[in-house]
Chains A and B, each alone.
Chain A
Amino acid sequence: MSAFLTYLLNGLAVGCAIALIASGLVVIHRVTGVVNFAQGTFAVVAGLCTSSLLGLGFPHGASEVTAVLAAAVAGLLTGLAAIGKPGVTPLSSLIVTLGVGVLAYAVEIVLWGDQPRSAPGLAGSVTVAGARIQTQYLLVIAVTALTFVALAIFFGRTYLGKALTACASNPYAARVVGMDTRRMGLIAFALGGLLGGIAGVLVTPLRPISFDTDVTLIVNGFAAAVFGALTRPVITLLGALLLGVAETMAAGYGYGSHQLEVALGLMLVVMIVQASRRSAISQEST
């Protein structure tokens, strides 16, 4: 029973990290219609930055915040490449972000080498109802909860957040009332980078990150995001938690080598079920 609880809590933490990546995908997709393939890259950049900064002797806190900001800058640059030029279709933008992800490989190898790197996180563990759980996992859950609350406040209560929502629901109307949809798209990309960066900083102490970890991260994030049809953050969060728990349970009960298949299989089933419910017309018009 305590093993089950351990797996459950660990799974929730893994799910939270996935949720952060997925929420970045959702924010960018809602505002710009682009699926950002480089979303996993932001996490990798932030993770590698933290490990370097901590290695150089910078204190905890400052290192993490700097790394997250670096990821946000990476997000902004990706946005400039993907939607900076007018008249590029979302599918072309997807291919551009794919290119950005590969370009990031080159930069990351030059800066950090091609070996996995880790960073120290919160040490120690606590016992919850007989289950030992690393403190870092609890930190992941807490930070994710805070981030989602902050996102809800940002989109629901602030002027900028409402403007982003307006661009998401009707870009044409948003332009008519004088919003710069391109600038809003760039802000969305920076926000996506920020969210990816938070995920990367949180995950690096748990599992080492190397330049090509981004494929696993983006695939998991996308899998979670399709639960919410790439537009609904709350369902995305639930999907991510489900995914994290399913993967951790699979690993915990001896199917560790099939973790990836579990996540990907789940994603394929969800996508196909969703697609069979929608008609071709509604998909082409969006």
Chain B
Amino acid sequence: MIRLVAGVLVAAVTLVLPAMLDDSALAVYILLGLAAMVTVGVSLLMGYAGQVSLGQGAFYAIGAYTAALLALGGVPPLAGLIAAPLAAALFSLVIGMPLLRLRGHHLAFATLAMQLILLSLAGQLEITGGDIGLQAIPQFSVGAFEAGSAAAYAYMAWGGLALVMLVTHNVVTSRPGRALRALATSETAAASSGVPVGRYKLVVFALSAAFAGLAGGIYCFYTGYVAPGSFPVLISIQYIVMAVVGGLGTIWGAVVGAGAITLLVQGLDQLAGLPGMPSYAPSVLSYAVYALVLIVVVLFMPHGLVPAITNRLSRKRSEAPVETRS
């Protein structure tokens, strides 16, 4: 009952907010929704399949470039937006087959390498516009309706987030979801209980890539341009920070983590923009915040923010441990 009321309340606030915020606040709101979308995928991958990906930004970039190229080629934006997650998922399936043989730090570096290679290629190929990237991407439109205002993109971003959360919820509570949790603890044990380990890992990898691709698609229509510089390695690290802060393997944790980090960095940006602050203040503050939050949470709150809070609320700390893993 409480969950239902809370859910309705969250949905209502989400729907009302775009109408009330001004443009600069809306930009934060949209980016928050997009970041949360990617983070849900990261959280699923790290928390349930036990795999670390330092290259989630690559799938975000693939989604953005796919949608941008299609839209610039005259394909209806809706088709481009649908193609974005599909392209990201397809790519992740192709590279996931060899890469997912790796685990732990090997996989982390392999995915990082994948992102570096993709960025380097995007900066050199003519079709992707080189370092300048793609510009003048048309506005998103379905039939006669054109998403001209930031509020429309806010609804798109948060609608996409709701879809992503629903899909994740269904995956996690299903029979394969249980298999995934077993897989995260011990692949050998899961395999001997009949879990098709390789296939499940690949599917989760593809799912998280699709989430990132969808976010990237919306991002390219919202900003109107994509360039390699929009997808630095730091963006992938940022998603890890968000997932870890919120609590790995919790859907709401991903949203809370994305929200907390985005708002924190935004607040510090305001602070850094005050007169008298040196010109390097914004980047220094955001680097420092990402780093300190990540270190403190990993060391002292390994289950993340949301499980820590819910545990305290329900006073179950002495009982069974939460079903999350770091």
CB <8 Å contact, A94 and B117:
no
CB <8 Å contact, A102 and B280:
no
Main secondary structure of the interface of A (DSSP, over half): helix
Q: Which A residues are CB-close (under 8 A) to B108?
A: 35, 94
Q: A81-B295, A100-B291, A102-B290 are in contact. Are A264 and B113 (CB under 8 A)?
A: yes
Stretch from A16-24, A170-178, A265-273 at the B interface:
A265-273
Stretch from A59-67, A106-114, A239-247 at the B interface:
A106-114
CB <8 Å contact, B280 and A110:
yes
Q: A219-B116, A261-B121, A283-B103 are in contact. Are A96 and B295 (CB under 8 A)?
A: yes
* Minimal beta-carbon separation of A100 from chain B (angstroms): 7
Q: Which A residues are CB-close (under 8 A) to B287?
A: 102-103, 105-106, 109
CB <8 Å contact, A114 and B283:
yes
A207-240 contacts to B, CB under 8 A, are 215, 219, 222-223, 226
Q: Which A residues are CB-close (under 8 A) to B240?
A: 95, 98
CB <8 Å contact, B105 and A102:
no
- Residue-wise interface mask of A (252-278) relative to B, using a CB-CB cutoff of 8 A (1 in contact, 0 not): 000001101100110110011001100
CB <8 Å contact, A109 and B280:
yes
Q: A99-B292, A271-B110 are in contact. Are A280 and B187 (CB under 8 A)?
A: yes
The 7 closest A-B pairs by CB, nearest first: A103-B291, A99-B294, A35-B105, A106-B288, A102-B291, A106-B287, A99-B295
Question: Is B90 interfacial (CB 8 A cutoff)?
Answer: no
Q: Which residue of A lies closest to B101 (CB)?
A: A275
CB <8 Å contact, B120 and A92:
no
* Minimal beta-carbon separation of A26 from chain B (angstroms): 13
A271 to B102, CA, bound (A): 7
A96-147 contacts to B, CB under 8 A, are 96, 98-103, 105-106, 109-110, 113-114
CB <8 Å contact, A219 and B109:
yes
How big is chain A's contact interface, by range? 35 or more
Q: Which B residues are CB-close (under 8 A) to A109?
A: 280, 283-284, 287
Question: Is B98 interfacial (CB 8 A cutoff)?
Answer: yes
CB <8 Å contact, A271 and B106:
yes
CB <8 Å contact, A102 and B294:
yes
- Residue-wise interface mask of B (46-72) relative to A, using a CB-CB cutoff of 8 A (1 in contact, 0 not): 000000101000000000000000000
* Minimal beta-carbon separation of B299 from chain A (angstroms): 5
Question: Is B209 interfacial (CB 8 A cutoff)?
Answer: no
Q: A94-B108, A103-B292, A271-B106 are in contact. Are A85 and B116 (CB under 8 A)?
A: no
Q: A91-B104, A226-B106 are in contact. Are A264 and B291 (CB under 8 A)?
A: no
Q: Which A residues are CB-close (under 8 A) to B284?
A: 105-106, 109-110
19 pairs, CB–CB < 8 Å, chain A vs chain B: A35-B105, A35-B109, A88-B299, A92-B299, A92-B326, A96-B295, A99-B295, A102-B291, A103-B288, A103-B291, A106-B284, A106-B291, A223-B113, A268-B110, A268-B114, A272-B99, A280-B188, A283-B103, A284-B186
